[in-house]
Amino acid sequence: MRDLLRETADRAARYLDGFGTRRIAPDLEAVGALERFREPLPEAPSDPAETLRLLDEIGSPATTLMGSGRYFGFVIGSKLPAALASNWLATAWDNSGSYWRVSPAPVMIENVALGWLLDVLGLPADCGGSFVTGATMANLTGIAAGRHVVLRRAGWDVEADGLFGAPPITVVVGEEVHPTLVKSLGLLGLGRNRVVRVPVDDQGRMRADAFPRLAAPAIVCLQAGNVNTGAFDPAAEIIPQAREAGAWVHVDGAFGLWAAAAPARAHLMRGYEAADSWATDAHKWLNVPYDSGLTFTRDTEALRAAMSITAAYLPAGDQREPAHYTPELSRRARGIDVWAALRSLGRSGVADLVERCCRYATRFADELRAAGYEILNEVVINQVLVSFGDPETTNRVIQAIQQEGTCWAGGTVWQGRTAMRISVSSWETTEEDVERSLEAILRIAGEVRAGQSVER
C-alpha cells in the first residue's frame, strides 16, 4: 500500500507540473487513446499499480486542465494544496461523515467548518447547514426546508403526507434563474413550469419594481451572482416584500456568496443576510476538490425536519450530527476539504483569493475593451462577457482560442447576444497567466478577423 500511495503522489505531482506547459484542452490524439479503456471486464485480479498506470498514462493526457490558472470556462475553481492533501488523507480514513458515533473526527471537523463558513460569509452564527455534492443539491436542500415551513404554516405536513392535496405553493424566480435551480424545483415536486418569473434588467437582476404581490404559501428564490454577468438581485429591496407576504426566501449564491468574504465586494451581499436559506459551492470559489456544495438555513429545525430520516433512527447525542441535515446518509466526509481550505487561507487568504479573481476579471475587461471589443456586462465580480463582433465571428474566435491551447474560455448567449465568457475563479491564476492569456486572445481574435476579411 505504501509503495502504491507513493507512486500515486509522484504521478499526481507530475500531472500538476505539466500545468505550466501543457495545452488546456486535450489534443485529439489523447482523446482518441481513451479507446484503450474499452477492454472486457478482467476475469481475474491484477496488480493495483498496473491499474493506476493505465489511469495515468491514458487518462491524464485526456483531461482538461480545469485547475489551471489559465482555465476560465464555466465557473470552476481549482483545488488548494491543503484541501487536496486533506482530501487524500480523508480518503485513506474512508470514514463516512454521517454520525459522531460512527466516527467522531469527520463530524467535529465539519462542525468547526460550518461555524467558520458562517463567519466568513457574514451569515447569522446560529444557522444550520448541510454539506452536499454541489449547488444543485444545495438549492434543493434549502428549498426543501422552505417547503416544510411554508406548508407547516398552512397546516400541512409535507414530509408525512407528500404534495398530493397540499395547498399550492407559489414559487418565484428571476427570469435569469440558473437552470439547475429550476431542476431542483422539479425534483421537489414544485414543478419546473409553474414558477412565476420576475422580469430582469440588462444585467439579469430581478427588477424590484416588477416583483409580484404574493400570498402564502410562497417561496422566493433570489440569485447572488448570475452565471453570465456575476450580477446580484436587489435583495435589500425584495426580501422585505417577500417576508411581508410570509414567503420563505432562498438564495442561490453558488459562487456569488463568496463576495461577502472580500471587504471591497461585500456591499454586493447587502440585504442577503435577511434571507431564510442560502446555497453555495465550495468547489467553485473556495477551490476545494469536487464535490462540495453547502446549504445554510436560519431555521435549523426546519432543515432537520426536511432531511432527517426519523427521529428514532439513532439516539441524539450532544454533537450536531451531519446526517440529520443532508439528503444522503452515507457520504464522504466533505467538511474536511472545506475546513482545510479555510484553515490554510485564514480570513485574509479567502478575501485575497476572491479579490484577486475580481481584479483579474476587471483587467481582462479593460484590455479587451481597449482593443476595441465590446464587454457586455458590468464586471462586478469575476465574470466577463466579451463579444468579438457578430455571433459567427465570436464563435470562431472562441473555437480558435480553445484549439490554440494557451487558455480556455467557453461561449454563451447573453440576452440574445453571443459572447465568450471569462470566469476567473482559480487560486492559481497569476498576473502572468492573465498576461499570457490576454496576449493569446488578442492575437487569435485579430487573426480570425483578418482571415475573414481576406476570405471576403
Ligand X SMILES: *Cc1c(COP(=O)(O)O)cnc(C)c1O
Binding site for ligand X (CB under 6 A): 75, 134-136, 178, 180-181, 225, 227, 252, 254-255, 281, 293
Of 67 and 217, the one with the shorter C-beta distance to ligand X is 67
Return the number of the residue (219 or 254) whose C-beta is nearest ligand X: 254
158 versus 354: smaller Cβ distance to ligand X:
354
Minimum distance from residue 339 beta carbon to ligand X (Å): 19
* Rounded least distance, CB 190 to ligand X, Å: 16
Q: Which residues contact 268 (CB under 8 A, 6 or more apart)?
A: 224, 232, 256, 259, 380, 381
Question: Contacts from 22-29 at CB under 8 Å and sequence distance 24+?
Answer: 22/65, 23/404, 23/405, 23/406, 24/64, 24/65, 24/68, 24/70, 24/71, 24/402, 24/405, 24/406, 24/407, 24/408, 25/64, 25/65, 25/402, 25/403, 25/405, 25/408, 26/61, 26/62, 26/63, 26/64
Q: Nearest residue to ligand X, using CB?
A: 134
**What is the b/e burial string over 80-108, where b = at least 16 CB atoms within 10 angstroms of the residue's CB?**
bebbbebbeebeeeebbbbbbebbeebbe
Interhelix angle 391-404/431-455, rounded to 10 degrees, is 130
Decide whether 151 or 282 has the Cβ nearer to ligand X: 282
CA distances from 107 to 18, 30, 103, 296, 324 (A): 36, 41, 7, 17, 12
Least Å distance, CB 259 to ligand X, is 13
Please identify, using beta-carbon distances, which residue of 174 and 217 lies nearer to ligand X. Answer: 174
Please give the grid coordinates belonging to residue 218: 410562497
From the CB of 220, what's the least distance to ligand X, in Å?
16
- H/E run at residue 196: strand 196-198
What is the Cα–Cα distance from 237 to 256, expressed in whole angstroms? 18
CB of 23 or CB of 178, closer to ligand X: 178
Residue 178 or 320: the one with the smaller Cβ distance to ligand X is 178
Q: How far apart are CA 191 and CA 168, in angstroms?
A: 11
Give min distance, CB of 225 to ligand X, in A. Answer: 6
Q: How far apart are the C-alpha atoms of 343 and 347, rounded to whole Å?
A: 9
Nearer to ligand X, 297 or 445 (CB): 297
Least distance (Å) between residue 230 CB and ligand X: 10
Which is nearer to ligand X, 293 or 322 (by Cβ)?
A: 293
The HSE-up count of residue 266 (CA atoms within 13 Å, CB side) is 13
Residue type, 429: T
Q: Are 217 and 242 in contact (CB under 8 A)?
A: no
CB of 286 to ligand X, least distance (A): 12
Quickly tell me which residue has 497567466 as its cell.
433
Minimum CB separation of residue 292 from ligand X in Å reads: 8
Does residue 404 contact residue 434 with C-beta atoms inside 8 Å? Answer: no
| Nearest residue (CB) to ligand X, 206 versus 448 | 206
**Rg for the chain (alpha carbons), in Å?**
23
| Residue 400 neighbours by CB under 8 Å, 6+ apart | 444, 447, 448
**Smallest separation (angstroms) from ligand X to the CB of 99:** 25
Q: How far is the CB of 357 from ligand X (least distance, A)?
A: 14
Say if residues 294 and 338 touch (Cβ distance below 8 Å). Answer: yes
How near is the Cβ of 307 to ligand X at its closest, in Å?
18
Question: Helix (H, G, I), strand (E, B), or coil: what is residue 150?
Answer: helix
Kindly tell me which of 281 and 321 has the beta carbon lying closer to ligand X.
281
